[in-house]
Chains A and B, each alone.
Chain A
Amino acid sequence: MDKFDFEITLDGERVPARRGETIYEVSERHQKDIPTLCYDPRLEALGACRLCVVELEGARNPVASCTTRAEPGMNITTRSSRLEMHRGVLLEMVASENRDLDVDPLSGYASGEMATLLDRYGARSGRFAGAKSGTSRPDDDNPFILRDYENCISCYRCVRVCAEQEGDYAISIMNRGFETQITTEFEGLLKGSACTFCGQCIQTCPTGALADIKALANKDVPGETKKTRTICTYCGVGCSVDVMTREDKIVGVLPAMDGPANLGALCVKGQFAFDFVSHPDRLKAPLVRGEDGELHETDWDTALDRAAGGFVKANQEHGRESVYGIASGRAPHEAAYMMQRFIRGGFGTNQIDNCSRA
């Protein structure tokens, strides 16, 4: 991976490049911070938003850096007053079609991308106010994915992530120009489509037009949003996630784009099934069975004495082979390790198993 094939000139500096790389990829490696809206590094570049255009010596017009491959000897300018003006005007026009320019950051991973660029380019003038595009789908009653297309800018990242990253092809593009609409087959609800509710469309949307309904339900929880990297609790793939919390409450889950097992992908369970953690059914205190045959809440001291006492008694009356341990395939290593250590270190037997046989 470290081998370079040739050099190009980037803003007056000679830099190395590899065959097959785009101008955008080389520029990113040199922290040029070229603005984009339709770009997601996991997807095939589309070149639709035209924000990433750069000046290429010898070319009459600026070229899209995300779709143009670097060639030996190219002389590229990534920033100039002409480019910056072009980008600013484009952003003003894109913004003019949307109802909201600022959405709650809980909407999704990339939901603040457009607003950030509007600020960077001072593009909130509103001078192109007029026609709007996109028709929202408040009739879609699914509890996960908000379909607020009045905030859609037709970057097609959702359609592309659904096809290229998920392989589900649940949504596509209908019509052209101001009439452009992201839709399912037969314009139905997501539930009736090939959608698996993996949430990838939400996480790539740069405007919050597609947004995480479960996370947004927590938008009034006060406090800063903190992110903690951990591993999803469903299935053996081991997807990396960033758990979003505010004041000791989980408010949502973001896929980790650099997670080695998932590279930003998740499924409906990992993305949305997080709130069991705070369900009122959670056990909050130890329980012991009383004389009446029922389970009663108690303190740890009492419960641990009772738990230990039962094992001591079995051991004394029936021998060490009378005690058996079943470890969990869902708890962390430390739980499984301690279970086998308890059985082996405590009783000298191998009477330990886990739930992998069921």
Chain B
Amino acid sequence: MSNPLADMEKPDVIFCIGTNMTECHPVAATRLKKAIAKGAKLIVADPRRIPLAEMADIHLPLRVGSDAALLLGMAHVIARDGLVDEGFVAERTTEATEFLEHVAEFPPEWAESITGVDAKLIEQAAQWYGAAERGAIYYTLGITEHICGVDNVQSLCNLVLMTGNIGREGTGINPMRGQNNIQGAGDCGALPNNYPGFQSVLEPAHQAKFAAAYGRECDLEIGPTKVQALDMCGDRVRAMLIDGENTVVTDPDRRHCEHALRSLDHLVVIDLFLTETAKLADVVLPATGWAETDGVCSNTERRVQRLRAAVSPPGEARPDWWAISRIAQRMGLKGFEFESAKEIFNELCSLSPIYAGLDWDRIENSEYQWPVPEPGHMGTPILHEDEFLNGRGIFHVIRYRDPAETISSDFPVWLTTGRRLASYHTRTQTGRSSGIDYLLSEERLEVNPVDVTNWGLEDGGWATMSSPRGSVKVKVEATNRSPLGTVFASFSFNDVPVNFLTGGGYDPVTHTAELKVCPVRIEPA
């Protein structure tokens, strides 16, 4: 997030797009509700009538996968109605002329033809955000899990740059990070393009720095992403180490994923449970879990916080870092003689400029949001206050593209996937906590009541849902949360493995799968 969570109480116009925040980031949503109670206007763009949409002043129920068109239409209105922050654009941005010429071609009526949202609503939303004193954007995977995820994010950046809603309290562009330490995994350099601290692997100076620290020089070449690596299994990739991820259930196109992992010569999985992924491994190593492990995590606002062990782990379970470093030692690799989480975190700080001012003892009280460039620095709650990382904010010319697969006579219904309040991911944790079943005991496919009737289904009855990659059987719930022609399911329950169906396409830059759009056929079962 460009801005801290505390800022969520401060905008006068809030634009939430592709984020089911009350279910997926409930505590962050409480802050937005406070802003709304104080009079902030809420615009929600989401195909479904999610709880946030119920609270909205304007709900833009766009067709799944049409975000870029909606945002082009909004940019058009902001430019047309003289709501561009000329001073900000002149001082802090570049490529504005080309961008403004481009958006002139896409009036809200055009956006309506793609998104299905009334042009008047698009106009109103754009005017509110454009005229906001403190306009803040929040988004989650509804923006990124598309073949055009990068285009969507850049479209949002364009709106921010046009209106100068960045670098100030209560504004910003704020992705809500999903997992408890997904931000941290990136901070720590578990990425094919970056060393720790987002230092590019293509930069020879970084290569030299890490060669000195690790005693081995790394390629000046970006590695394959996880998605590419799964495609290479059994061919270039022969051995894999997977830490704490149930890849088989979370990833798109489950059949492909299972096949990939089975074709490896060697698979080592570190986890708390014998997950569907661990069941395919040659070696499974038991990890210590939450409340059993000392360590560090970063939250969605870049706050670096201490995790503390409160109880002993079961049996022989050991911290993930211990298992990985001991594998390295057994291979005869030097430099893996770590004995504590503290030692490791301090090494990370010494190699990462954004953590340079931190160490294990300084983060005791959760005070710092990175970057913290030197000791004594107070951290950076708000990014881009005086300038952008690369100097000026760059406008990008974005064109709308259809999803990888669109509805057809064979697969006439849009399926979109997501999460629910009472379950977390594949339920390896929430499914093993008592009481959660009381709130959520099984998967239900959310279908508009009119569609339930038209398709010959029954509320509470079974349906078969198929895509070109497979079929699943799922119980039906009739609900107005789903618009006509669009259905919703989560991937939480292994007995309704929705990700057998998904996986029609990937963003060409990030290789993020289009999990939010999958044409399907639905029949009574």
The residues of A with any CB-CB pair to B shorter than 8 Å are 141-144, 164-167, 191, 196-198, 213-214, 226, 228-240, 243, 245, 248-250, 259-262, 265-270, 272-279, 281-289, 295, 299-300, 303-315, 317-318, 321-342, 344-346, 348-358
Contact = CB atoms under 8 A, between A and B. Distances in A.
Given A230-B308, A351-B223, A261 B242 contact: no
Interface size class of B (residues with CB under 8 A): 35 or more
B188 A337 contact: yes
Given A237-B25, A331-B320, A346 B331 contact: yes
Interface of B: 5-6, 22, 24-30, 33-34, 36-37, 176-193, 195-196, 201, 210, 214-219, 221-227, 229, 232, 236-245, 247, 250-252, 265-266, 268, 271-274, 278-279, 281-287, 289-293, 295-301, 303, 305-312, 314-321, 323-328, 330-331, 333, 335-336, 338, 341, 344-345, 347-348, 366-367, 421-422, 424, 428-436, 438-439, 510-513, 515
Given A275-B434, A358-B247, 5 more contacts: A235-B25, A277-B291, A311-B241, A311-B266, A334-B321
A165 B436 contact: no
A191 B218 contact: no
Given A231-B307, A238-B299, A327-B185, A358 B250 contact: yes
B495 to A, nearest CB: 16
Given A325-B241, A336-B188, A337-B196, A306 B283 contact: yes
A351 B215 CA distance: 17
Contact of A340 (B33, B188, B367): B188
Contacts of A269: 421-422, 424, 430
B424 A288 contact: no
B184 A332 contact: yes
A104 to B, nearest CB: 18
Given A165-B30, A236-B180, A332 B307 contact: yes
Ranked 9 nearest A-B pairs via Cβ: A284-B315, A238-B299, A332-B295, A167-B33, A328-B244, A310-B266, A236-B177, A350-B223, A143-B435
B449 to A, nearest CB: 20
Contact of A337 (B239, B287, B321): B321
Given A236-B300, A281-B273, A350-B201, A286 B215 contact: no
A267 B419 CA distance: 15
A245 B291 CA distance: 10
A92 B361 CA distance: 48
B330 A233 contact: no
A148 B309 CA distance: 33
A235 B90 CA distance: 38
Contacts of B225: 353, 357
16 contacts: A165-B30, A167-B33, A191-B438, A191-B439, A196-B22, A196-B421, A233-B290, A236-B179, A248-B311, A272-B436, A285-B316, A309-B330, A310-B283, A322-B236, A334-B341, A350-B201
A265 B24 CA distance: 15
A144 to B, nearest CB: 6
A303 B268 CA distance: 10
A288 to B, nearest CB: 5
B288 to A, nearest CB: 9
A324 to B, nearest CB: 5
A273 B244 CA distance: 18
A268 B422 contact: yes
B328 A346 contact: yes
A338 B308 contact: no
A251 to B, nearest CB: 10
A163 to B, nearest CB: 9
Contacts of A266: 27
